[in-house]
Structure 1
Amino acid sequence: MAETDAAAAQQPPQIQMRVLGQFIRDMSFENVMAQRGASGDVQPDVNVQVNLDAKKRSTDNQYEIAIKLNITSKAKGMDDVLFVFEIDYCGIFHVEGVPNEQLHPFLLIECPRMLFPFLRRIVSDITRDGGYPPLNLDNIDFMALYRSELARQQAAAQAEQKADA
C-alpha cells in the first residue's frame, strides 16, 4: 500500500484541457481592389502577422486565448493593396494540472493549436467570399513563435539594461 502511495506521489498531475467556447471578437475584411472598381487577374503577395494573447478569467482554471491575425495582400511587383483582413479569434479554455512554470507556454502554444484549424477555415471562407481564391494559411508553428517572442523580449531587456548602465 505504501508503495502505491509513493508511486502516485511521483507521477505528475494529469493535464486536462477543454475548449469551453470559441468566438470571433473582432473581424474586418476590407476589399480595397473592389472599392477602386478594379478587377482582373493579379498574383497576390500575402503578408500574415500573428499575435497571441492569454488572459486568466475570473473562474478558476479558465483562460481566454486570442489569436490575432493581420493579413495584407498586395499585387505582386506593385504596391497596390488587394485586401486587408484582420481578425481576433478567441477560445475559452479550462486547464488543470499544468505546473505554474509551464502554464504560460502551454496557454500560448497548445491552446492556439486547438483553435487554429477553425480560424484557418474562417480566413479561407472570407477571402473566397470577398472574390479572391481561398487563402489557405500554412500551419503556424506556435512553439517557434513563442520562442522567438521570448528571445525578442530577452534581447529588449538586455538592451534596456545596457542603456541604463
Structure 2
Amino acid sequence: MLKKKSVRISLIIISVVILILGGGLAYYRLSRIQGTVSPTVINAPLKGETETPHVIIYTQDRAFKNEVISNITDELTDKDIYLEIQPIEELSEDTSPWDKVILFTTIMSSEPPENTLSFINDNKNNEKVAVFLTADSGKWAHQPADVEVLTAASNKDENIDVFTKGILHFIEEK
C-alpha cells in the first residue's frame, strides 16, 4: 500500500513538473511571436522615378524592429529615396523591381523564418540584398559560412542604433 502511494505521489510530482516546464516553454515561445507589420510607403510620389533608388524592407511587427524602422523612415523622409516596408510573409523571390532589398527579421529556434531561408541562400551573392537578424543570443547559431549577415540581440537599446546605422548605410551606399 505504501509503495502504491509513493508511486502515485511521484507520478503527480513528475506531471506537475512537466506541466510547469511546458507552460514556461509555451509562454516563452508565445512571448517571442513576431507580429505582421502594416505595409508602408515613404516618398510615394517617387515610385516611378528612374533616377530614384527604390528600396524595400521586409520585416516584422515587434517593438525593437518598429523603433529601428521609425528611425529609418524619419531619416529618409526628406531624401530622394522611394521606400516600402512590407511584412516578411510577403517576401518575393523577384528582386528586379528594387535597387536594394533588406530582410530585417528574427531568429526563432536557431533559424530565421522559414520563408526567408531559401531567399537568403539564393541571394547570398546578390549585392543589392542585405540581411539583418535579431536574436536573443545575438547570433545565428546555424549561419552558413558564406552568408553575410548582421545579427545582434534585439533587447538592448544600443543595438537600435547599430541596426539603424547598418540599414541606412546599406540603403545609401552606391
> Per chain length, whose mean CA-contact separation is higher, i.e. which structure has more relative contact order (CA < 8 Å, sep 6+)?
1
Larger strand percent: 1
Normalised to the residue count of structure 1, the TM-score between the two structures is 0.35
